[in-house]
Amino acid sequence: MSTIVRTRSPYFIRTTNYASPTYSIDYFQISISIYEGNSGSLPTCGGIYGQYTLKKKVLPGETSVTFDISEIANDHLIQTFNGTHGGSAATQSFWMQVTVTGFETNGSAISPSVTNQYLIQEGFNKFKEGVNYVTEPTAMITANYMQYNKGSNLVLPVNPERVNSVAWKLNGSTIATTTVTDAGNSEQKIQYISKSTISQEYDQAVVTYDTSSTRTITIEQLDECKYPVNRVTFLNRWGAMQDLFFFKKSTESLDTRRENFNRSIFKARTVTESLREEDCQTTITYNSYSTTGHADKSFNANGRESILLNSGFVPDSMNETFEELMVSEYVWVTDPDDVVIPVKVKDTSFAYKTGLNDKLINYTMNFEKAFDLVNNIR
């Protein structure tokens, strides 16, 4: 299994202790290569995305140092979504090769160097999980509950290093089974298993991992007959794209901004020329201004559109899904016309609801489109 570095949280490397009198350690150097393809087979040209060398002095009385490698790795991950999940995985995972070498005060390198391989993905760990939390997920979602809109594609991201198959069930009977294989390539370290629901309903996905262990994810199909359904796709805590459907009332709004200045529209002398009977006639007017001109002028006027969505009734078990949406840095809304819109979560607070306290749980969330209404991309 690969050691996963989730780049939104720190990942610390502690070097080997080189104690005196055997060594007179001065500093450590780490060489980092970030690349795509298969682990351990460092490409020779275009597959290398970054190479770095860092040095760190040893503090007095210490014999080793600590490096944080997560921020360097995060710069090379690219998150894209165009309405389907298949192409997203190609740039969501990379390999990182880290070679650590100690140097003595006389400048000589301590042999041998230590080399390790890491799989980098743009997830995060929680505070209570502590330092360097590296548990590998199976299905790359947190909650064991999913809702989907009837007729849409049901998408489940999985970790192919651990998952062997996914059985799609209805009323306890297996309708279809998807086999998952790991070819070792970084482009398929997140795999999106998709099932059409146009003519087939599912109520469970049973994930088989590590040969015989299983994880059951409850699936609920909803058929909304009144409101247009919006699909929100976001990068979750495991670094995978996850779908969340908002079934109820949606409202669009526009927030505008502009700057203003007072300008003079007074004209001390105005010359007007006109052609009359093949002769140019000149008219001069003094001390005038237009009564339809803008003395108070606006400029840089633009706006941002927002979409207010309602989830419809959801169970308590989906609270973690909404929690991860709130702190996601990549969010898209696919509207009822299948137009993909990059958005940001506009809300800054989230009140957890439970069936005990709130009876029926509906979440209302406000999303701001991540671009201006007036095109100003230059």
- Same domain for 201 and 343, yes or no, is no
Shared-domain flag, residues 268 and 290? yes
Cβ neighbors of 366 (< 8 A, separation 6 or more) are 306, 307, 308, 309, 345, 346, 347
Q: pLDDT digit string (tens) for 101-155?
A: 999 999 999 999 999 999 999 999 999 999 999 888 999 999 999 999 999 999 9
- What is the pTM assigned to this prediction? 0.90
Question: In the predicted model, is pLDDT for residue 276 greater than 90?
Answer: no
Q: Do 119 and 90 fall into the same domain?
A: yes
Residues 273 and 359 in one domain: no
Q: Are residues 9 and 122 in the same domain?
A: yes
Distance, first Cα to last Cα, the chain: 45
Domain that holds residue 175: 137-223
169-193 average pLDDT score: 94
Q: Are 334 and 206 members of one domain?
A: no
Residues 125 and 246 grouped into a single domain: no
Question: What CATH number is attached to the domain comprising 92?
Answer: 2.60.40
Q: Which residues contact 165 (CB under 8 A, 6 or more apart)?
A: 177, 178, 179, 180, 207, 208
Residues 87 and 21 in one domain: yes
Using CA atoms, how far apart are residues 124 and 128, in angstroms rounded to an integer?
A: 12
Query: Mean of the per-residue pLDDT values for the chain?
Result: 92
Same domain, 243 and 327: yes
pLDDT at 45 over 70: no
Q: Are residues 366 and 278 in the same domain?
A: no
Q: Give the residue from 170, 197, 223 where a domain finishes.
A: 223
- 256 band by pLDDT with thresholds 50, 70 and 90: very high
Domain CATH for 156: 2.60.40.10
Q: How many structural domains are present in the chain?
A: 4
What is the reported pLDDT for 47? Answer: 76
Do residues 191 and 229 share a domain?
Answer: no
In CATH, what number is assigned to the domain containing residue 342? 2.30.110
Q: What are the backbone angles phi and psi of residue 160, rounded to the nearest 5°?
A: -70, -15
Read off the DSSP letter of residue 90: G
Do both 76 and 13 map to the same domain? Answer: yes
Segment 204-233 shows an average pLDDT of 93
Residue 70: band (very low, low, confident or very high) from pLDDT cuts 50, 70, 90: very high
Helices vs strands, H then E, count in the chain = 3, 23
Report pLDDT digits (tens) over 329-358.
999 999 999 999 999 999 999 999 988 888
d(CA 232, CA 341): 9
What does the alpha-carbon distance between residue 236 and residue 153 come to, in Å, rounded to a whole number? 19
